């Protein structure tokens, strides 16, 4: 039966005739015509109605367009596959008389048709799993549907691989002996790899010199560092996980709703001059101007890359650092682009040590795919427009904290010239007692008439009359780094320069990278948390967190500023005069009680009272969003604390 009517307008004669035909089909195959599952957009296959209500719901609410195989209304899955698969395929679906209620099989078959050219045996394996009953006589689940549903539960509830293996083993023991459920996480994952949930395990040099791929694939050791690729018994010393992005983009566009949302920046974005989304930025407009062919197709993707070190073991004292590389899609509206569903894990760089400056060698597979998607593009089926097109993509920038910025950009963010904008003209002072460098030239970035430029006492004792340095755009940075050739790997780290640009970043392999205004975006929430920790640590005088102390006061004396805060010697002890931010114990109690009494709406932030320790008079366990709420809403100067 033709399904085109499902995509027609609900006001059209074609749609009305299709609904009547669907009603006739459902009534003919229903065991009880007064209890038919309703596939309208309101009921979503969750309610049963009679035939008249079914027709009314479909006319008024519309039908679920993804429901092209009517398994819930008596259609056999084999007939649907036989009718829908193209005639030029050489695959034969497995015959069976059993009917299954499988919502996922239809989507899987669509995906397999798209990817068939890359993996011709995929259709056979999937069809076999989709048609194989979980056990002899089972009419509700197949091998594939069961594993998909269990994996969905695993992802939604954050189950570990070990617990999932134990669950599979338990369920397998509970089922009849002839069941075909995988008994291990490994077997289940291997089974699903055929539907695009695949990954590549790439061996890496333990010293971060190279990846053993392409011309290095047959080698057992890297000739320049002579470190073995393997441990004992041919176990690789280091393995990088790469999750190819192209199949996932294809699968995303096959979903009608996702394909529509990926056009939001062109079709539904409000253009009133306000900055709500990266599409409102000058850089987006520059891409439109410089690459009109790319922007002519609104379905082309603008991506961001984010990476940082995490400790997967959850032990804060452990120095283990694993680096996930996540892709963000900026075509989506603001309320979707940062949702977990659309944040794509593309790489996993293992620890225990961070890659540091050598992160470029690990990003190579991802950069190669991004280059292919920019130059040639990939053929993709659009489920919203119901057509195939050539999809291209570009990397709009990276999101990272400041240390990760140094690794990704190739600029040394340590030492005297740590500012990537000022470079050699960085205004720095070495604190003799604090044993650290501080950078006091930040007021030069303020507008020329800003009143803070004239404040002496509040800053370093001098006025600021200098202009901000000229920004370094991508083409200027490229001219500085294009001739820098280095050897990656820990054995060659000493050969790197210690300040300024130390490498040509792998991102410059992307043809458009040097034309972008801003290539690396600093994570504001991450920085705000660091600032908040320092401010609160100083206010509450938390040991190890406060920026005020005896050494800090001595440095003020040496710099000739804030003389009223200089340490005073009383007998054999040194006394630190109270500063404007100094709180007595009584005032700290009032401050903490205020925070403990704060009540916010559910979902607005964490429960603030649970973050306050009245015993130690400090805040504990704050997340980045909690710090943001405290800085922006609870602690501004308009709030007055009454200290009795």
Look at residue 92 in the predicted model and tell me its pLDDT.
Answer: 29
For residue 48, what is the enclosing H or E element?
strand 48-49
List Cβ neighbours of 187 (8 Å cut-off, separation of 6 or more): none
Look at residue 621 in the predicted model and tell me its pLDDT.
Answer: 87
**How many domains, in total, are found in the chain?**
4
Above 70 in pLDDT, residue 611? yes
Above 90 in pLDDT, residue 83? no
Q: What is d(CA 69, CA 84) in angstroms, rounded to the nearest whole number?
A: 10
Look at residue 69 in the predicted model and tell me its pLDDT.
Answer: 74
In 3-state terms, what secondary structure has residue 636? coil
Which one of 400, 422, 453 terminates a domain?
400
Look at residue 589 in the predicted model and tell me its pLDDT.
Answer: 92
Q: Looking at the structure, do residues 261 and 358 belong to the same domain, yes or no?
A: yes
Residue 605, Cβ neighbours under 10 Å: how many? 20
Q: What share of residues in the chain are helix, strand, coil (percent, to 5)? A: 40, 15, 45
Q: Looking at the structure, do residues 346 and 392 belong to the same domain, yes or no?
A: yes
Above 90 in pLDDT, residue 14? no
Of residues 155 and 341, which shows the higher confidence score? 341
Could you tell me if residue 168 is inside a domain? yes
The string of pLDDT tens digits covering residues 495-529 is 888 888 999 999 999 999 999 999 999 998 889 99
Could you tell me if residue 224 is inside a domain? no
Q: Taking residues 267-289, what's their average pLDDT?
A: 92
Q: What is d(CA 398, CA 405) in angstroms, rounded to the nearest whole number?
A: 9
The string of pLDDT tens digits covering residues 19-39 is 888 888 888 888 777 888 888
Q: Looking at the structure, do residues 383 and 262 belong to the same domain, yes or no?
A: yes
Q: Looking at the structure, do residues 382 and 279 belong to the same domain, yes or no?
A: yes
Q: Looking at the structure, do residues 536 and 582 belong to the same domain, yes or no?
A: yes
Above 60 in pLDDT, residue 626? yes
Above 60 in pLDDT, residue 80? no
Could you tell me if residue 272 is inside a domain? yes
Look at residue 423 in the predicted model and tell me its pLDDT.
Answer: 87
Question: How large a percentage of the chain has pLDDT more than 90?
Answer: 34
Question: How large a percentage of the chain has pLDDT more than 70?
Answer: 89
Could you tell me if residue 482 is inside a domain? no
Q: Looking at the structure, do residues 247 and 392 belong to the same domain, yes or no?
A: yes
| Helix-helix angle 143-157:122-131, to 10 degrees | 90
Q: What is d(CA 374, CA 300) in angstroms, rounded to the nearest whole number?
A: 9
Above 80 in pLDDT, residue 75? no
List Cβ neighbours of 550 (8 Å cut-off, separation of 6 or more): 567, 574, 576
Q: Looking at the structure, do residues 62 and 112 belong to the same domain, yes or no?
A: no
Residue 642, Cβ neighbours under 10 Å: how many? 6
Could you tell me if residue 578 is inside a domain? yes
The residue range of the domain holding 567 is: 525-634
The string of pLDDT tens digits covering residues 222-240 is 888 888 898 888 888 999 9
Q: What is d(CA 26, CA 103) in angstroms, rounded to the nearest whole number?
A: 17
The string of pLDDT tens digits covering residues 357-414 is 999 999 999 999 999 999 999 999 998 998 999 999 999 999 999 999 999 999 998 8
Q: What is d(CA 299, CA 342) in angstroms, rounded to the nearest whole number?
A: 16
| Torsions phi, psi for 141 (to 5 deg) | -135, 145
Q: What is d(CA 192, CA 197) in angstroms, rounded to the nearest whole number?
A: 6
Q: Looking at the structure, do residues 311 and 391 belong to the same domain, yes or no?
A: yes
Reported as a pLDDT band with limits 50, 70 and 90, residue 90 is very low
Q: Looking at the structure, do residues 531 and 628 belong to the same domain, yes or no?
A: yes
The string of pLDDT tens digits covering residues 535-559 is 999 999 988 889 998 999 999 998 8
Could you tell me if residue 509 is inside a domain? no
Above 70 in pLDDT, residue 642? no
Q: Choose among 327, 491, 301: nearest CA to 380.
A: 301
Which one of 195, 230, 260 terminates a domain?
195
Residues forming beta bridges with residue 500, ordered by sequence position: 412
List Cβ neighbours of 578 (8 Å cut-off, separation of 6 or more): none
**DSSP labels for 600-627?**
--TTTSS-GGGGEETTTTEE-S--HHHH
Q: Taking residues 596-622, what's their average pLDDT?
A: 87
Could you tell me the two tokens for 423? Answer: 């470079």
Q: Looking at the structure, do residues 268 and 390 belong to the same domain, yes or no?
A: yes
Q: Out of 192-201, 209-218, 618-627, which region has the weakest mean confidence (pLDDT)? A: 192-201
Q: Looking at the structure, do residues 181 and 273 belong to the same domain, yes or no?
A: no
Of residues 16 and 156, which shows the higher confidence score? 16
Which one of 400, 419, 445 terminates a domain?
400
Q: Looking at the structure, do residues 359 and 316 belong to the same domain, yes or no?
A: yes
Could you tell me if residue 593 is inside a domain? yes
Q: Taking residues 465-472, what's their average pLDDT?
A: 88
Look at residue 317 in the predicted model and tell me its pLDDT.
Answer: 55
Look at residue 159 in the predicted model and tell me its pLDDT.
Answer: 86
Could you tell me if residue 616 is inside a domain? yes
Above 80 in pLDDT, residue 118? no
> 538-544 — which CB contacts under 8 Å span 24+ positions?
538/581, 539/581, 539/583, 539/591, 540/583, 540/588, 540/591, 540/617, 540/618, 540/619, 541/582, 541/583, 542/618
């Amino acid at each position: 039966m033709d399904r085109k009517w499902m995509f027609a307008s609900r006001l059209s004669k074609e749609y009305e005739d299709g609904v009547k035909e669907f009603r006739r089909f459902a009534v003919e195959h229903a065991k009880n015509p007064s209890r038919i599952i309703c596939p309208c957009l309101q009921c979503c296959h969750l309610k049963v109605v009679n035939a008249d209500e079914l027709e009314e719901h479909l006319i008024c609410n519309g039908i679920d367009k993804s429901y092209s195989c009517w398994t819930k209304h008596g259609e056999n899955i084999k007939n649907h596959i036989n009718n829908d698969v193209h005639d030029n395929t050489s695959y034969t679906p497995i015959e069976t008389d059993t009917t299954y209620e499988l919502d996922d099989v239809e989507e899987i078959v669509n995906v397999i048709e798209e990817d068939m050219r890359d993996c011709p045996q995929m259709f056979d394996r999937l069809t076999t799993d989709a048609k194989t009953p979980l056990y002899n006589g089972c009419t509700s689940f197949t091998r594939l549907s069961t594993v998909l549903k269990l994996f969905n539960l695993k992802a939604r509830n954050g189950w570990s691989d070990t617990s999932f293996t134990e669950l599979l083993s338990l369920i397998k023991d509970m089922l009849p002996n002839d069941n075909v459920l995988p008994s291990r996480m490994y077997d289940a994952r291997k089974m699903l790899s055929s539907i695009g949930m695949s990954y590549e395990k790439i061996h890496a040099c333990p010293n971060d010199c190279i990846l053993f791929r392409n011309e290095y694939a047959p080698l057992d050791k890297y000739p320049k560092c002579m470190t073995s690729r393997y441990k004992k018994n041919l176990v690789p010393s280091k393995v990088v996980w790469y999750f190819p992005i192209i199949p996932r983009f294809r699968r995303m566009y096959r979903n009608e709703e996702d394909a529509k949302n990926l056009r939001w920046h062109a079709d539904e974005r409000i253009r009133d001059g306000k900055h709500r989304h990266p599409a409102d930025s000058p850089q987006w407009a520059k891409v439109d101007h410089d690459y009109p062919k790319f922007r002519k197709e609104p379905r082309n993707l603008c991506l961001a890359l984010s990476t940082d070190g995490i400790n997967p073991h959850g032990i804060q004292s452990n120095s283990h650092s694993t680096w996930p590389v996540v892709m963000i899609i900026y075509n989506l509206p603001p309320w979707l682009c940062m949702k977990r569903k659309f944040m794509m894990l593309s790489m996993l760089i293992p620890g225990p040590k961070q890659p540091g400056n050598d992160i470029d060698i690990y990003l190579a597979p991802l950069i190669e795919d991004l280059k292919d998607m920019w130059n040639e593009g990939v053929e993709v089926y659009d489920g919203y427009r119901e057509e195939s097109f050539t999809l291209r993509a570009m990397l709009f920038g990276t999101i990272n904290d400041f240390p990760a910025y140094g690794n990704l950009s190739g600029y040394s963010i340590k030492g005297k010239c740590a500012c990537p904008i000022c470079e050699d003209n960085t205004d720095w002072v070495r604190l003799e007692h604090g044993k650290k460098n501080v950078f006091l030239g930040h007021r030069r970035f303020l507008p020329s008439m800003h009143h803070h430029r004239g404040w002496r006492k509040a800053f370093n004792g001098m006025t600021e009359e200098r202009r901000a340095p000229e920004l370094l755009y991508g083409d200027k940075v490229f001219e500085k780094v294009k001739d820098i050739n280095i050897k990656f790997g820990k054995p060659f780290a000493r050969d790197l320069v210690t300040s300024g640009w130390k490498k040509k970043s792998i991102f410059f392999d992307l043809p458009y990278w040097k034309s972008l205004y801003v290539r690396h975006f600093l994570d504001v929430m991450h920085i705000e948390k660091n600032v908040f920790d320092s401010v609160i640590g100083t206010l509450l005088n938390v040991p190890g967190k406060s920026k005020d102390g005896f050494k800090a006061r001595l440095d003020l004396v040496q710099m000739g500023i804030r003389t009223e805060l200089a340490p005073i010697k009383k007998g054999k002890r040194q006394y630190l005069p109270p500063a404007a931010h100094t709180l007595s114990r009584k005032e700290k109690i009032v401050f903490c009680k205020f925070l403990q009494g704060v009540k916010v709406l559910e979902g607005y932030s964490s429960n603030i009272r649970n973050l306050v320790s009245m015993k130690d008079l400090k805040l504990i366990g704050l997340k980045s969003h909690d710090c943001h709420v405290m800085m922006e809403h609870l602690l501004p100067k308009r709030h007055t604390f009454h200290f009795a």
